[in-house]
Structure 1
């Protein structure tokens, strides 16, 4: 009887620890397939599906066909952590982005850690004209004396270092861009892009409307992540620069579109 009682106590413990590990893995990857998790944790697919169902009931993950993704937006602590954890990946993406931007181009540059890396890579170009609401990106770009850099006035948003104000969209409409370089908080399985800040979405949508082409720079952890505010669909962008090909439904969405996929 004692042995049976011990086994009953152990099973919930193992399950809890596995689900904690599963959440930790998703916080880094953003999305994982059932097959990938089955292999990673050396359990059956039925076990993983039960774990996913439990976590979905708690509102911590969102189930997708054949996989699972996080549902919660990124908080400040996680934002800072990812700036460090995915440093190499973001800079690979940034270098590829810079290769796609010709010298002398007029560019809108979004805010966020990926776009800060892009700003560093763009310093290898010549005579760019850049509009950005990211103070961090603007400071980086000032290393080039042949660049023209425009930033709006307003209040500085903590963590991201972006400038916010009532007339942001009006400021952006004064310019025309060869390329709008944007980032997102998540791309859902149907290709829906989103951000967790309504103000940033409004700015980026305006910039896209003023640009001849749109380049999305994002690492693969954003795949199958649901953001709070809808920005548009990934099929609307001209180029997508990332570190790995998406799997599942999103892969099929991109394959059926005219988006140029660049793997850094």
Structure 2
């Protein structure tokens, strides 16, 4: 039997971790792999040169689009928690409201939960979310022009950057890669951050859906500070320091506990 070299095993684990999360910091990778940050930095450099990951400030991100199997895995991960969060979000949205809905597996769950509401007007760049509303003749649904990203059904590339200028929202519903200890809300996709930022500027109320595994985690691209949102909806409460930070910025914390 041929034994796989230790370095190769470590780098494979590193790639799997980054694919699962989209982005990971040097510190997190070093802790999980039980090696120094210098070792992780060398591994990332080699993997970047091989086209397997992309070096980023303070860590590494996925190289190109997420693989279908990885996205399917994300949909299965913490599925029950996402369903609980989705119902809490839907309870906050009033019938007849105008809504911007972000993309991602959490927002797909939220889309399903929003079918319990009536007469919504929804703007989303997720075709998978839009299709969940297709049987509702009392909903108005708008999506931008562009190309469908097959892995997750997002409409990307080629869309008019002024698409959102024509809309005003009662609610912007967002889901991101994480919120770090300083309160920075981050994601790993620059396109998604740009659309989310534009929607926030046009919304009366901003709802951030964030499962508890994402508290204390960063991301490749900063969207805003948590003080810019009105609600954080999660399955369980974060650690005390983060809860206190939310309270200090008048951010309402809604949990499923």
* Global fold match (TM > 0.5): yes
Task: Sort the Cα spacing of 1:212 and 1:162 in 2 relative to 1 into closer, same or farther, 3 A.
Answer: same
- Give the match for residue 43 of structure 1: none
- Give the match for residue 195 of structure 2: 203
Instruction: List alignment gaps of at least 5 residues for structure 2.
Output: 1-5, 25-29, 42-57
- Give the match for residue 160 of structure 1: 152
- Give the match for residue 257 of structure 1: 249
SS at match of 1:116: helix
**d(CA) in 1 for partners of 2:31, 2:144:** 49
* Cα displacement string for residues 123-142 of structure 1 (whole angstroms, at most 9, x for unaligned residues): 00000000000000000011
1:54 is aligned to 2:41: no
* Cα displacement string for residues 198-248 of structure 1 (whole angstroms, at most 9, x for unaligned residues): 111111100000111100011112112221111001121001111111115
- Give the match for residue 179 of structure 1: 171
**d(CA) in 2 for partners of 1:197, 1:71:** 15
- Give the match for residue 180 of structure 2: 188
**d(CA) in 1 for partners of 2:112, 2:79:** 13
Q: 2:126 aligns with which of 134, 155, 159?
A: 134
1:103 is aligned to 2:84: no
**d(CA) in 2 for partners of 1:128, 1:261:** 24
- Give the match for residue 243 of structure 1: 235
Q: Tell me whether 253-262 or 146-155 shows the greater mean CA deviation.
A: 253-262
Cα RMSD of the aligned pairs, angstroms, is 2.9
- Asked if the contact 1:176/1:210 (under 8 Å) is kept, the reply is yes
SS at match of 1:245: coil
State which structure, 1 or 2, has the greater radius of gyration over its C-alpha atoms. 1
**d(CA) in 2 for partners of 1:56, 1:158:** 35
- Give the match for residue 86 of structure 1: 78
- Give the match for residue 48 of structure 2: none
**d(CA) in 2 for partners of 1:148, 1:251:** 36
**d(CA) in 1 for partners of 2:206, 2:161:** 17
SS at match of 1:111: coil
Bigger share in helix = 1
Q: How many correspondences in the alignment? A: 217
- Asked if the contact 1:107/1:181 (under 8 Å) is kept, the reply is yes
The alignment's TM-score, normalised by the length of structure 2, stands at: 0.75
- Give the match for residue 143 of structure 1: 135
- Asked if the contact 2:167/2:202 (under 8 Å) is kept, the reply is yes
